[in-house]
């Protein structure tokens, strides 16, 4: 099955911040999981390069918008490579091919009689690239997200007949699976119930955008252009770009993961645009929460922005991944706390999982000639029962995109295995030769449990997972089907165990 998943296309006004890293890590984990379950995944990310915000940013820097976009787009792409993000497509909205798709799409929407010329008056936030609701006449109105003054606009623009799609959108959002989480879905239902208004899809007085055919003093509104990036990312065949080919590739997208601030665009405007062009709306949209730092909103003026590059250098990508995936429930806001970060990495990865692996493989090496124990039968231990339950829960959570719960299930399993080991005390049993078979069984089972932990961690922490499996002497990891490798008892008996080394270093408080 094809599975198309997308991050938002990030504005190139600045390099990636922790919010963009967060969304991208979530998508990466889901993409990896779906691949492991046998889907053919197309993971789309990219950048949103047009509009007033980008034009002004370039102007302030004293470079051309094109130069600015080339530079920041490249930083985004390189960053995702550094973060080990397994994207398949990286779309730039300034690419010529994307422009072709925008034009084709516009013609379809026009043919549906959904475009007309009208007057656009209102208060605009350049940061959001959005007209704000209920404008009053005070010039000091501020955007609640950017905390910057709104700008009054009064232009003749082309409009899209969103109001025509009231019924379609109502029907779409009635499906409880379309928007998650529930609270966000309710906000959208409430907004739609007030009646949808047409919105302008072109701008005059703005050069940095795609020109509207036959209206050459108009450029497309940046959101109309950007949303189409999801389609243009998969619409090329032998250098020919077409909407038909996007459909052939598998459109509609299965999952858009976005932040809660841009949900309306994705859950209302975008599906209506697609229906107008005769295409299917996306299947699901998850609006994740916002990250704060030590309880405070992150912002340049507050001086508390967490630079993801610094985090990456200091802690490595997988520690940050674990914290963001395990500690924040997808959909809720999350807080980045330095102390909590250090505690979680040390407790979960270094102690609960890392120590379990190291102490057990050390015992096995010491007592069984540097190998895994050779056992004649694999008794049905209590630990196997824990494994089966945890695997079932984990798959169930992952299928519902509850990544925090799936991560915690691995931890719960590892904690149970630690308790089991402490209860059995093989280090005491080994002192009496008569216990040797029992010790072999205990050690084999605990090592097998750590193998399962390594396999389960694969979509969440791909590198850490490999390290665990290598430490168990499993070097040919990818030759086995992932689901198959969750079966109990696959760890070979009498297999060489490499000398253990810490699979993660403990972090210090600063
Ligand atoms: N360019 C648009 C998206 C167009 S999609 C066709 C855009 N870009 S953005 O760069 O401003 O935002 C990208 C994502 O980052 C959004 O999903 C937004 O919600 C998210 N975040 C911005 N700040 C954030 C936090 N502090 N925490 C978590 N995510 C945040 O919007």
The residue whose CA is least distant from atom 19 of ligand 1 is 259
Whole-structure pTM value: 0.96
Average pLDDT, the chain: 94
Determine the distance separating the centroid of ligand 1 and the alpha carbon of 138, expressed in angstroms: 28
Q: Distance of alpha carbon 353 from its chain centroid, rounded?
A: 24
Determine the distance separating the centroid of ligand 1 and the alpha carbon of 166, expressed in angstroms: 26
Q: Residues 335-361: what's their mean pLDDT?
A: 96
Q: Model confidence at 141, in pLDDT bands (50, 70, 90)?
A: confident
Q: Cα dist. 4→89, 102, 170, 375, 398 in Å?
A: 11, 20, 24, 45, 16
Write out the two tokens for 135: 């404008």
* pLDDT for res 216: 87
Q: Model confidence at 403, in pLDDT bands (50, 70, 90)?
A: very high
Higher pLDDT, residue 122 or 189:
189
Region of poorest pLDDT, from 50-54, 324-328, 378-382, 474-478: 378-382
* pLDDT for res 82: 97
| Pocket probe mutation, ligand 1, options 48, 143, 262, max atoms within 8 Å of Cβ | 262
Q: Is the beta carbon of 10 within 6 A of some atom in ligand 1?
A: yes
> Which helix or strand (DSSP H or E) is residue 237 part of?
strand 236-237
* pLDDT for res 138: 55
Q: Residues 456-460: what's their mean pLDDT?
A: 98
Determine the distance separating the centroid of ligand 1 and the alpha carbon of 258, expressed in angstroms: 7
Of the candidates 510, 499, 508, 506, which has an alpha carbon nearest to the alpha carbon of residue 353? Answer: 506
Q: HSE of 87 in the Cβ direction (CA atoms, 13 Å)?
A: 26
Question: Does the structure show a pLDDT above 80 at 421?
Answer: yes
Question: Does the structure show a pLDDT above 90 at 297?
Answer: no
Say if residues 45 and 7 touch (Cβ distance below 8 Å). Answer: yes
Higher pLDDT, residue 309 or 299:
309
In angstroms, rounded to a whole number, what is the distance separating the alpha carbons of residues 486 and 489? 9
Region of poorest pLDDT, from 182-186, 202-206, 375-379: 375-379
* pLDDT for res 129: 87
- Which phi-psi region, left, alpha or beta, contains residue 210 (left: φ > 0; alpha: ψ -120 to 50)? beta
Say if residues 17 and 72 touch (Cβ distance below 8 Å). Answer: no
pLDDT in tens, 207-258: 999 999 999 899 999 999 999 999 999 998 777 889 999 999 999 999 999 9
In angstroms, rounded to a whole number, what is the distance separating the alpha carbons of residues 123 and 178? 30
Q: Residues 139-158: what's their mean pLDDT?
A: 82
In angstroms, rounded to a whole number, what is the distance separating the alpha carbons of residues 405 and 368? 37
Q: Is the beta carbon of 261 within 6 A of some atom in ligand 1?
A: yes
Say if residues 85 and 191 touch (Cβ distance below 8 Å). Answer: no
Higher pLDDT, residue 44 or 480:
44
Question: Does the structure show a pLDDT above 70 at 136?
Answer: no
Q: Residues 420-428: what's their mean pLDDT?
A: 97
Say if residues 246 and 231 touch (Cβ distance below 8 Å). Answer: yes
Rounded to a whole number of angstroms, the CA Rg of the chain reads: 26
* pLDDT for res 449: 97
Q: Is the beta carbon of 291 within 6 A of some atom in ligand 1?
A: yes
Determine the distance separating the centroid of ligand 1 and the alpha carbon of 419, expressed in angstroms: 42
- Residue 17 is classified by DSSP as -
Question: Does the structure show a pLDDT above 60 at 137?
Answer: no
DSSP3 helix / strand / coil % (the chain, rounded to 5):
50, 15, 35
* pLDDT for res 380: 63
In angstroms, rounded to a whole number, what is the distance separating the alpha carbons of residues 331 and 259? 9
Region of poorest pLDDT, from 16-20, 107-111, 340-344, 406-410: 16-20
> Which helix or strand (DSSP H or E) is residue 291 part of?
strand 291-293
Q: Residues 436-464: what's their mean pLDDT?
A: 96
Say if residues 105 and 224 touch (Cβ distance below 8 Å). Answer: no
Q: Model confidence at 140, in pLDDT bands (50, 70, 90)?
A: low
pLDDT more than 90, % of the chain: 84
Say if residues 224 and 273 touch (Cβ distance below 8 Å). Answer: yes
């Amino acid at each position: 099955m094809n599975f198309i998943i997308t991050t938002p296309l990030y504005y190139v006004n600045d390099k990636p911040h922790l919010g963009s890293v967060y969304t991208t890590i979530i998508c990466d984990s889901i993409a990896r999981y779906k691949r492991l379950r046998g889907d053919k995944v197309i993971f789309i990310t990219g950048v949103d390069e047009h509009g007033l915000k980008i034009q002004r940013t370039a102007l302030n820097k004293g470079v051309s918008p094109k130069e600015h976009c080339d530079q920041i787009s490249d930083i985004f792409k390189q960053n995702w490579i550094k973060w080990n993000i397994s994207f398949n497509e990286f779309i730039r909205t300034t690419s010529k091919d994307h422009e072709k798709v925008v034009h084709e799409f516009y013609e379809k929407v026009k043919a549906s009689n959904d475009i007309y010329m009208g007057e656009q008056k209102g208060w605009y936030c350049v940061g959001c690239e959005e007209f704000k609701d209920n404008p009053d006449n005070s010039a000091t109105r501020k955007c609640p997200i950017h905390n910057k003054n709104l700008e009054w606009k009064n232009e003749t623009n082309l409009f899209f007949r969103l109001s025509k799609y009231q019924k379609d959108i109502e029907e779409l959002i009635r499906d409880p699976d379309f928007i998650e989480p529930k609270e966000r879905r309710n906000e959208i239902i409430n907004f739609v119930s007030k009646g949808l208004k047409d919105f302008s899809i072109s701008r005059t007085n703005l050069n940095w955008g795609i020109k509207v055919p036959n209206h050459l003093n108009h450029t497309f509104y940046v959101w109309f252009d950007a949303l189409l990036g999801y389609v243009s990312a998969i619409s090329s065949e032998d250098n020919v770009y077409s909407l038909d080919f996007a459909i052939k590739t598998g459109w509609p997208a299965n999952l858009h993961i976005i932040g809660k601030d841009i949900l309306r665009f994705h859950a209302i405007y975008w599906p209506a645009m697609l229906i107008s062009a005769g295409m299917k709306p996306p299947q699901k949209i998850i609006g994740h929460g916002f990250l704060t730092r030590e309880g405070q909103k992150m912002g340049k003026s507050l001086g508390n922005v967490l630079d993801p590059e610094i985090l990456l250098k200091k802690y490595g990508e997988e520690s940050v991944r674990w914290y963001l995936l395990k500690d924040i429930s997808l959909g809720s806001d999350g807080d980045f706390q330095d102390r909590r970060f250090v505690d979680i990495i040390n407790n979960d990865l270094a102690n609960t999982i890392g120590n379990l692996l190291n102490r057990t493989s050390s015992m096995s090496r010491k007592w069984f000639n540097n190998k895994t124990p050779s056992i004649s039968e694999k008794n049905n231990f209590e630990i196997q029962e824990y494994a089966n339950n945890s695997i079932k829960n984990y798959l169930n959570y992952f299928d519902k995109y509850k990544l925090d719960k799936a991560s915690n299930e691995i931890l719960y399993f590892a904690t149970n295995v630690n308790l089991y080991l402490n209860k059995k005390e093989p280090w005491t049993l080994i002192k009496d030769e008569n216990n040797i078979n029992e010790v072999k069984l205990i050690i084999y089972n605990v090592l097998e449990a750590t193998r399962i932990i390594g396999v389960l961690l694969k979509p969440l922490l791909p590198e850490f997972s490999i390290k665990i499996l290598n430490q168990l002497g499993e070097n040919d990891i990818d030759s086995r089907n992932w689901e198959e490798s969750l079966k109990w008892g696959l760890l070979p008996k009498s297999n060489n165990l490499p000398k253990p080394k810490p699979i993660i270093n403990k972090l210090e408080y600063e």
